[in-house]
Every structure is written in structure tokens, then in C-alpha cells.
């Protein structure tokens, strides 16, 4: 599909899902405004691959299918994130498309699971070369609903969110250009009981693994730096002692269970793991996760930030 056709098709999608039509010029403006953070990751592969990692656009679209509460909250949240989140997301998608890049969204694309938000995601995913993991906000009925964030809460929206996504939300993998991309769910600061076994099966394939998960995984540097900035780290795997100063509700929400602790311990020693791509913190960051793997956090999609990654053959 050429650029004109894609823009026309994107505009048609937009017309169906956005309250106002997005002219191609508006999309062009947004595309030019994309703030791209360039990253190079050498891997034992034969040909290079470029990809666009994006997260946290926090799109807040609603229509008559959504409840009054959802519509009110979405309106407030759209203002908080500066508006035009759907346009920013579409612009990133178009940017990746035009450059022939694999699109790697790592969650919080939408702010809550409204019908109109999910329609937009479904249309975009169906029309792009993409591999994705889910974020915590994809499962929110509305922000501030006060619900305990657990499997029962996730279950309320799981099937509808799954229907919008291209692959399984709990765990999935896909080989592209000799890289094994593996996505898993850690959105509520814990992982599934079977994740170690499933990850080991991926490692046995013998390819370098690039993992996608929404919430960053613990490293001492990231934890200390983020706590110094904002008091709470919002990452997976800190010890109870380290987070003892958190407000009680955040301590309970973010404390690490045994399954998750064991998974992280395994992951730190897994030599096949070369990179972890995540979001959630709304700021760009990168640093060592293990001897073999670096973690890359994409910034705020609602500020038009994205990581542009070149996977290149190792010298």
C-alpha cells in the first residue's frame, strides 16, 4: 500500500472512530512532531531490522455505547494528557508504516477500555505490521474507579481487549528477522505462574529474545532514580524493604509476590534475553537489566515520544 492509500485508509478509519475527520495534513503535522529517541541494539542476526516502540498515548475516545461515567472521566483525562491522543497514536503508526518499521506498542495506548477506544485499536492493529503487549490502562473500566487491580478486575474487560489485539495478551511470541519477540503481561506488578516455563520454551529456540512488557522490571539504578524523583517507582520486583516507605495502598499494589520474584531471578540469568522494551513511567530511560540484556523505556506517547530502534548484526 502506498502512502496516499494508507493516509486515505487511516483517514477513513479515523472518520469511523473519531468524532471529527482527521485530514491528511493534520496527520502529517503530527508525524513531523514525533520526538524520536534513536537506539541501536546489536544482536546475533543476519540482517538489520528497524522498529518503532511507543507507549502511553492514553487515548480517551467515547461514544453512546460507553457509560455516562466513562464519558465524563474520558473528557477529563483527555484534557490532562493534552488532547489529540488518537491523532498522536495514528501519526506514530503512519511514521512506522512509511519507514517500513515494525510497530512495537508496549501498552497504555488507551486510557480505559471504552468501546470507541477498542474500536480504534482493533482497526489500527489489523492494518499494521505490529507486535504488542498490553498495559494496565487497557483494562481500566475508567480511571479512578477504585477497583483492586487483580485478575478478577482484569477479567471484566479481558475478552473485549483481547478481541482488539493481534495476539494473546498474557503471553505471545513472534520471530522477525531472526529475533524472537516475546510479549508478556505484568501490568498489575505480577506475572503468571506459568511464565517461567513459557519463557524457557522460547529461550530453547536458540534465537536472541527481545521481551515486551508494560511495567519496567527492577534494576537498582531505575528504582533509586525513580524513587528520588517521585517517591514511588511503579516498577516490578522491588523488595518489601525498599518499598516500605510507599503509601499503604501503593505498597500493597506494587509489592512483589514469590512467582514474580522467581521469574525475575530466572530472567536475570537467561542469556538468550538481550533487550526488554517497556513503558508506563512516561519518560525515556535505558539501563542494564542483566549481563546480557538492556531495558529500554519509551517516553510518553501523549507527548509524541517514541523509541526508534535499529536491531543490527553484531560486529
Nearer to Fe ion, 56 or 101 (CB): 56
Helices (H) and strands (E) in the chain, counts: 10, 10
Q: Look at strands 285-288 and 294-297 and give their pairing.
A: antiparallel
CA atoms of 124 and 126, how far apart (whole Å): 5
CB of 253: closest distance to Fe ion in angstroms? 12
CB of 288: closest distance to Fe ion in angstroms? 22
Nearest to 192 by CA among 136, 135, 262, 107: 262
Binding mask 61-100 for Fe ion (x = CB under 5 A): ----------------------------------------
CB of 214: closest distance to Fe ion in angstroms? 6
Task: Confirm if 116 and 62 have CB atoms less than 8 A apart.
Answer: yes
Q: Which residues contact 218 (CB under 8 A, 6 or more apart)?
A: 235, 236, 237, 238, 264
CA atoms of 204 and 221, how far apart (whole Å): 30
The span of 13-21, 108-116, 222-230, 249-257 binding Fe ion (CB under 5 A) equals: 108-116
CB of 302: closest distance to Fe ion in angstroms? 8
CB of 106: closest distance to Fe ion in angstroms? 9
Residue number of the CB closest to Fe ion reads 108
The total of other beta-carbon atoms located within 10 Å of residue 126's CB is 11
Torsion sign, CA atoms 62, 183, 281, 230? positive
Nearer to Fe ion, 136 or 254 (CB): 136
Nearer to Fe ion, 87 or 108 (CB): 108
Q: Which three cell numbers stand for residue 191?
A: 506475572
Task: Confirm if 106 and 279 have CB atoms less than 8 A apart.
Answer: yes
Nearer to Fe ion, 105 or 135 (CB): 135
136 part of the interface to Fe ion, by CB under 5 A: yes
Q: Which residues contact 13 (CB under 8 A, 6 or more apart)?
A: 90, 120, 123, 124, 127
Nearer to Fe ion, 208 or 216 (CB): 216
Nearest to 169 by CA among 103, 160, 177: 160
Site for Fe ion in 162-191 (CB under 5 A): none
CB of 273: closest distance to Fe ion in angstroms? 22
Nearer to Fe ion, 151 or 175 (CB): 151
* Count of positions (residues) in the chain: 315
Nearest to 71 by CA among 148, 149, 143: 143
Task: Confirm if 142 and 111 have CB atoms less than 8 A apart.
Answer: no
Site for Fe ion in 201-240 (CB under 5 A): none
Nearer to Fe ion, 45 or 109 (CB): 109
The span of 49-57, 96-104, 216-224, 225-233 binding Fe ion (CB under 5 A) equals: 49-57
What number of chain residues touch Fe ion (CB under 5 A)? 5
Nearer to Fe ion, 135 or 237 (CB): 135
Phi (first) and psi of residue 215, to 5 degrees: -85, 130
CB of 134: closest distance to Fe ion in angstroms? 10
Site for Fe ion in 272-291 (CB under 5 A): 280
Choose which of 34, 45, 56, 95 interacts with Fe ion (CB under 5 A).
56
CB of 227: closest distance to Fe ion in angstroms? 17
List interacting residues with Fe ion (CB under 5 A): 56, 108, 135-136, 280
Amino acid at each position: 500500500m502506498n502512502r496516499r492509500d494508507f493516509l486515505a485508509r487511516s483517514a477513513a478509519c479515523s472518520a469511523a472512530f473519531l468524532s471529527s475527520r482527521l485530514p491528511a495534513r493534520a496527520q502529517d503535522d503530527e508525524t513531523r512532531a514525533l520526538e524520536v529517541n534513536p537506539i541501536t541494539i546489536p544482536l546475533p542476526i543476519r540482517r538489520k531490522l528497524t522498529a518503532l516502540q511507543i507507549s502511553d498515548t492514553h487515548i480517551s475516545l467515547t461514544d453512546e455505547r460507553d457509560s455516562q461515567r466513562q464519558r465524563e472521566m474520558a473528557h477529563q483525562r483527555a484534557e490532562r494528557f493534552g488532547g489529540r491522543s488518537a491523532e498522536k497514536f495514528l501519526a506514530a503508526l503512519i511514521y512506522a508504516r512509511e519507514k517500513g518499521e515494525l510497530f512495537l506498542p508496549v501498552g497504555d495506548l488507551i486510557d480505559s477500555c471504552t468501546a470507541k477506544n477498542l474500536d480504534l485499536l482493533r482497526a489500527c492493529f489489523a492494518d499494521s505490521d505490529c507486535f504488542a503487549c498490553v498495559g494496565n490502562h487497557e483494562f481500566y473500566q475508567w480511571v479512578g474507579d477504585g477497583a483492586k487491580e487483580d485478575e478478577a478486575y482484569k477479567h471484566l474487560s479481558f475478552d473485549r481487549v483481547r478481541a482488539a489485539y493481534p495476539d494473546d495478551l498474557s503471553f505471545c511470541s513472534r520471530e522477525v528477522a531472526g529475533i524472537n519477540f516475546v510479549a508478556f503481561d505484568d501490568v498489575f506488578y505480577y506475572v503468571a505462574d506459568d511464565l517461567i516455563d513459557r519463557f524457557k520454551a522460547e529461550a530453547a529456540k536458540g534465537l536472541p529474545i527481545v521481551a515486551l512488557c508494560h511495567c519496567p522490571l527492577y534494576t537498582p539504578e531505575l528504582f533509586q532514580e525513580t524513587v528520588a524523583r517521585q517517591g514511588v517507582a511503579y516498577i516490578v520486583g522491588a523488595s518489601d524493604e525498599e518499598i516500605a516507605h510507599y503509601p499503604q495502598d501503593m505498597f500493597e499494589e506494587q509489592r512483589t509476590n514469590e512467582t514474580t520474584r522467581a521469574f525475575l531471578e530466572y530472567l536475570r540469568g537467561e542469556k538468550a534475553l538481550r533487550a526488554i522494551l517497556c513503558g508506563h513511567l512516561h519518560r525515556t530511560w535505558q539501563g542494564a537489566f542483566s549481563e546480557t540484556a538492556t531495558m529500554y523505556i519509551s517516553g510518553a506517547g501523549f507527548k509524541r515520544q517514541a523509541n526508534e530502534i535499529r536491531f543490527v548484526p553484531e560486529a
